[in-house]
Amino acid sequence: MMSRKITEKVIRRLRAVPRVVSISGDVGFATPLEEDFDPDRITKPESEERTLSPKVILSANYRPERVSELPVTVFTSVSESMDNNQFPRINVPRNKKGLRVGPIDIKRKNSNDETSHSTQDYAPEIQDDIEILDEMSMELLDRGIKIKSGQHLFVDLGESSIDDSRIISIEGNQAVRVAFTTNSGHLITSSEIPQHFLPHQLNIPINSRIIYLFGYGDISESSNHLNLGSNSISLNCSTDNTTAVGFQAQSRIIGIPNTLLICRGGVVRFDNLTTDYKNSIRARSLLKGAKVVTFETGENAETFIVILNSSAVETAVYTHSGVELKDPFESIENGALTALIWNLPTSGNQINKFTVSTELKGSIHSLMAMKGKAEIWADTMMNQYWDTIVEEGALTNEGTALIKISNLENGKDMEEEKYARR
């Protein structure tokens, strides 16, 4: 049996540092305990540290829309309407090189059928600086916070609502989308508010944790006939003649990693998601590792379209609010991709949940819901780029909205003011 040789060096290493203690029992002058003593740190009550709630956790500004002589498109499902000539139908130009997908730049044409400009796909400006977000939170808690046209705003309530006694108030001169979700990113309810309904207030529903807002801009000339609803703006108004909600491979996904991911008109979830991505990312980057993708949106869509790799069509499973979708109205092949188009049955569900499950990672390209019958959209899919159907950004560059959160009693003044204006 080997014995360890105990040297003087080992003994010194095992010994504790000597402490000087007085005979009376109080701490001596040379003790390290007195040197570490910080009366401010020890006596400071923890209650003085204020936690902001509700709290702004993310703000993102989309690239502005360039001014055009073209009005905001208003969708009509009656293709042979006598008034149909009032609603321009301008197809995105075909790719002259014959490529399967088109460029991201969106060409526009004026009344003389000449290209007037193109919308450049600039990345959104992300504001995630803690100090600036705290300032925005203070504004929200004080006199209200203004959101601009094209701005995304995420507000954390701090805890899930146990009742609907709090309200969110909106006033201003732009159309606004408001969505309430759980902390895990499930959509509870959403509402798109045309500006002629402002000022307006909504009860924050039970179980809400995150509030998401988006400014569509001043579209008063195009939206005065629209009612307040879950997709009243996104399924009816457009800058490029495609009124669809959902996402495509080129779409930008905005949100909080592993909490809430926003796409046009709803929220999106992926079965295989890592935390190492930014608050704004192309959907294709998230789709690479996904086999199952879920899209949750509001009501009033009439058509559902899935685009995925042609090799995955037969084995994929497609569901709408828990019911499997079979026998699509039409299937359109375009190179390595296939578009499957369904007419959606009338449903009383306030939230529509679409799920596509595949056996091969990265085979899903797009999930989209539209107003209008499947035959109308089948023709669109045969004559338009498949990468530029779902729009992003605001509808115009003008307009702001003031957002406030308060208890129900404090919101009565706004409701009285609203009816006084009428």
User: In this structure, are residues 61 and 132 in contact, taking their beta carbons and an 8 Å threshold?
Assistant: no
**Nearest residue to 154 via CA among 212, 215, 214:** 212
To the nearest 10°, report the CA torsion of 239, 244, 250, 251: 90
CA separation, residue 168 to residues 74, 406, 411 (Å): 28, 7, 8
Q: CA 35 to CA 12: how far, in whole Å?
A: 24
Identify the pLDDT of residue 105.
Answer: 39
* Nearby residues of 146 by Cβ (< 8 Å), 6 or more positions away: 172, 400, 401, 402, 403
Identify the pLDDT of residue 75.
Answer: 55
Higher-confidence residue of 275 and 53: namely: 53
Domains of the chain: 51-73+105-240+393-422 (no CATH), 244-390 (2.60.120)
**Which of 46-50, 125-129, 261-265, 396-400 shows the lowest per-residue confidence on average (mean pLDDT)?**
46-50
pTM given for the model: 0.75
pLDDT category at 346 given cuts 50, 70, 90 is confident
pLDDT category at 129 given cuts 50, 70, 90 is confident
pLDDT category at 7 given cuts 50, 70, 90 is low
Q: CA 199 to CA 390: how far, in whole Å?
A: 29
Q: CA 109 to CA 88: how far, in whole Å?
A: 11
How many CB atoms lie under 10 A from the CB of residue 44? 11
User: In this structure, are residues 296 and 186 in contact, taking their beta carbons and an 8 Å threshold?
Assistant: yes
Higher-confidence residue of 70 and 263: namely: 263
